[in-house]
Amino acid sequence: MRETAVRSRRMALGQHLSMPAQHFAHAYCLPVPLGDSTVSAVFAFHQRKAKDTYEELVPEAYPEGRTYLRLSPLPFFADCGESAYSHRYYMRIVGGRPVVAGEWPWQVALQQKDPYSGKGLGQHCGGTLIHPSWILTAAHCIVDPVFKFALPPPFWSVRVGEVSLSAETQRLYPVSKIITHKFFDSETWDNDIALVKLRKPLDLEEHAGLVNTICLPARNMSFIGLQCSVTGWGRTKEHGSNSDLLQTIRVPVMTNKKCQRAYRKVNPVSNGMICAGWDEGGMGPCVGDSGGPLQCRERGGPWIQAGITSWGVGCAAPSYPGVYIRVSEYLDWIYKHLEKT
């Protein structure tokens, strides 16, 4: 287990742990006695403001040997990464399968609209809810490919809690702010990350079961070898049309060295990227899935966003995995902008 800081001290379940405000972000793994045995308890701490105050944490117990730390969005949401749907059974259907309502409650649809008439111009990209006010997506979804600037908020709206894009009960929300990484490179896809702020924060309780935030990863967290899920309304075939129903697939995360070998003649794969896919192809993201999540979890834990769908060769082509922005490399960037507002 790799964490920002470790404290070795014993404590009981239900006990609170207080940390001084000068610490920005910490994760703790502590032994907790449970009857005749002891398990590891993982704690995540995040200070929202640099003041002389203390934040409290409620410990959560996990089995010994867990390899992830639960680091939540701002402010701390204890239920991030929780889905009302059971993910115990997966059907490996080529090209993915439709999802059910509430299965991926943090998935949003980023849609373009005419800023003058307000008329919707259709599905453009995916994104994830990391906070009731904030969407995490890809910069290339926001930046105009010709003029190289980010389209302002009046051009965008966000749909949340939806499975079918043709559903009459649309949960459509206006946007108040767009932030793209200032070093986004549309040639190499480096820093392909953006934040979209909703005009008003969502009431998660009002949409309970259908809308929730996803958890963010801990720094230096590794997902290698895990089979993670990708979701989106993109094309179900390389030369086909976008899907009306949200689709999901499961793909294994690979090492960057393996991914770099696959793309050595195509494009550099940097440390800020993470790759996932089957060697034989047949399952992977396609046009229209950009900005959506590569989401992972272990042993029934919360879902954590490992990556943001970014680029690749073709759609689920053999020997070419999907390439995603590695979210753990951009935690400081994310927190900095969320704290500013």
Per-residue pLDDT of 174-194, as tens digits, reads 999 999 999 999 999 999 999
User: What pLDDT was estimated at residue 241?
Assistant: 81
Active site residue 185: no
Per-residue pLDDT of 264-308, as tens digits, reads 999 999 999 999 999 998 888 988 899 999 999 987 789 999 999
Tell me, what amino acid is at 336?
K
In the chain, where are the structural domains located? 105-212+332-339, 226-328
> Looking at 83, 290, 310, 328, which residue is catalytic?
290
DSSP classification of residue 217: P
DSSP classification of residue 152: P
Quick check: 94 pLDDT over 50? no
User: What pLDDT was estimated at residue 50?
Assistant: 34
Fold of 105-212+332-339: Thrombin, subunit H (2.40.10)
The pLDDT confidence band at residue 164, using thresholds 50, 70 and 90, is very high
- Burial of 131 (C-beta count, 10 Å sphere; 0-12/13-18/19+): buried
Q: Which residues contact 279 (CB under 8 A, 6 or more apart)?
A: 318, 319
**CATH assignment, 226-328:** 2.40.10.10
Quick check: 321 pLDDT over 90? yes
Quick check: 7 pLDDT over 90? no
Side-by-side strand order, sheet with 25-34: 25-34, 37-46, 60-62
The pLDDT confidence band at residue 42, using thresholds 50, 70 and 90, is very low
> Looking at 133, 140, 310, 328, which residue is catalytic?
140
Active site residue 176: no
Q: Identify the residue with better confidence: 97 or 176.
A: 176
Active site residue 124: no
User: What pLDDT was estimated at residue 263?
Assistant: 97
